Amino acid sequence: MIQRKRLPGDSLLTVSKKQDMSLNFFWYGLLVYMIFFVLAAAEAPFLTAASAQGVQAIGLLLMIAGGAGLMSFKFDDGYLKNLFIINLLYSVTIIIRGAQFDKDAIKQMLFDPWFGVLPYLCSVIVLLPRSIATYKKMFNILLIFGAIFLVFVYTFYDTLHDYDRLNLVAQGLVENLSVFLALPVGYMLISYPYNIKGKKDFFGIGKKNAFIVFMFMVTLFFAIFRARRGLIFMCATTFLCVGMVAVLSTKKKALIITMASLMILVGGAFIASMKEHSAFNFLMERGEEDTRSGVEVWMYADMSSADWVIGKGIKGKYYCPIVDNVNDAEGAGYRDNIETGYLQIILKGGIISLALHLLMFIPAVYKGLFKSRNVLSKAAALWIFLWIIYLYPSGGIVFSMNYLLVWVATGICYSEKLRNLPDETIKANLQ
């Protein structure tokens, strides 16, 4: 058999058969882990918490097996390498400080994406092979995430559409479905030019793009219905980034700007008419209701100077008696989370943790937006930028596809070779 001669730069496009199998293990293991966490959180009647965690354990083992066959300690940028090492070592100190090792604590650390150990280890995904084949596999998994989201919306529709707007189960279900399944697919939407095979592909917009837009509209509907303002903001800014990519990647900028202006006008008219529709009553009632500042004041009062610098560790809590659903592990009135993302990072790891992340992510945004030749890098930069601005309305560091994609995007933005690949080459290999 005659083998094709390996061309310079092939490693940017392909992976070996062994790596391809490991990618399957890693991404499908992650998918299984996320699906069964969402099902357990939704209190699905056909699934016990123990069985859900058992399947999550299988997913975690698949991720570990896949990662072991994929990750190598290679960096395209010395600055990122040094900060990555410092951040990873510092994350270990956050885990160690306050970590518990009884049965229940271990299960929480392994199977809770919000407060477990995995959020602090997400950065290792930057060690995945930086190749177009890796990202192609990732895009395929994102489509499955979107499809599973729609299946779960159908399955739990009665709960999601419960008109008791104070139903905490429905509220939590909307947030979990969106954060863990729907919103990550926005990364693929921002990279929309790669999803269009030609002018005949679903009226020129692409079947994949049409599917993702539909999925996002479903997400936005339930975000409005349950008055989740942070989630509405995330959906809107994702679409805004799609518009930015359109402006940056097309020669018909005047047409794009005109269409965007029309969409803004239509959106403004829609928002103005929301008062007339009962479906939006709850959102209008919440309006500019302040649900954060009171909690933040209590957190500030409970933080020492050392806490602000290094945080309180993985089990860090603060006294906040004004919230009913608090964690009582250390007595009534203590909470282990705060809804403002950057404060959550500071609570656990201090300003040092927040600074380390920003020192890596801000240069990545600059490199991806202004030092690149392709949409892949620009979309990666925009995704990181979105995560940074989401530090106010969302929970910060969470073991989710959203946050994992931030690290994937960081690897792309720091790779000069990837940033200089032409779009035609990337698109041909992604499709």
Structure confidence by residue, pLDDT tens digits, 153-212: 999 999 998 887 778 888 899 999 999 999 999 999 999 999 998 877 877 789 999 999
Q: Which residues contact 376 (CB under 8 A, 6 or more apart)?
A: 135, 191, 194, 412, 418, 421, 423, 426
> For residues 250 and 267, what is the distance between their CA atoms, to the nearest angstrom?
24
| Buried/exposed code over 333-351 (b: 16+ C-beta within 10 A; e: otherwise) | bbbbbbbbbbbbbbbbbbe
Residue 419 has pLDDT above 90, yes or no: yes
Is the pLDDT reported for residue 323 higher than 80? no
Buried b (16+ CB within 10 A) or exposed e, 164-178: eeeeeebbebbbbbb
What is the average pLDDT value for the chain, to the nearest integer?
86
Confidence of residue 264 (pLDDT cuts 50, 70, 90): low
Mean pLDDT of 303-316: 95
Q: Which long-range contacts (CB under 8 A, 24 or more apart) does 117-122 make?
A: 117/314, 118/399, 119/397, 119/398, 119/399, 119/403, 120/91, 120/92, 120/94, 120/95, 120/314, 120/397, 121/88, 121/91, 122/397, 122/399, 122/403, 122/404, 122/407
Question: What pLDDT is attached to residue 327?
Answer: 47
pTM above 0.85, yes or no: yes
- Give the three-state DSSP class for 318: strand
Cα(231)–Cα(219) distance, integer angstroms: 9
Lowest mean pLDDT, pick from 11-20, 102-111, 241-250, 296-305: 241-250
User: pLDDT, tens digit, for every residue of 281-298?
Assistant: 555 455 555 556 678 889
What pLDDT shows up at residue 6?
A: 40
Tens digits of residue pLDDT in 34-56? 999 999 988 888 889 899 999 99
User: Does residue 222 sit in helix, strand or coil?
Assistant: helix
Q: Which two tokens stand for residue 185?
A: 């697919």
With a pLDDT cut of 90, the percent of the chain lying above it is 62
**What are the domain boundaries of the chain?**
19-70, 130-284
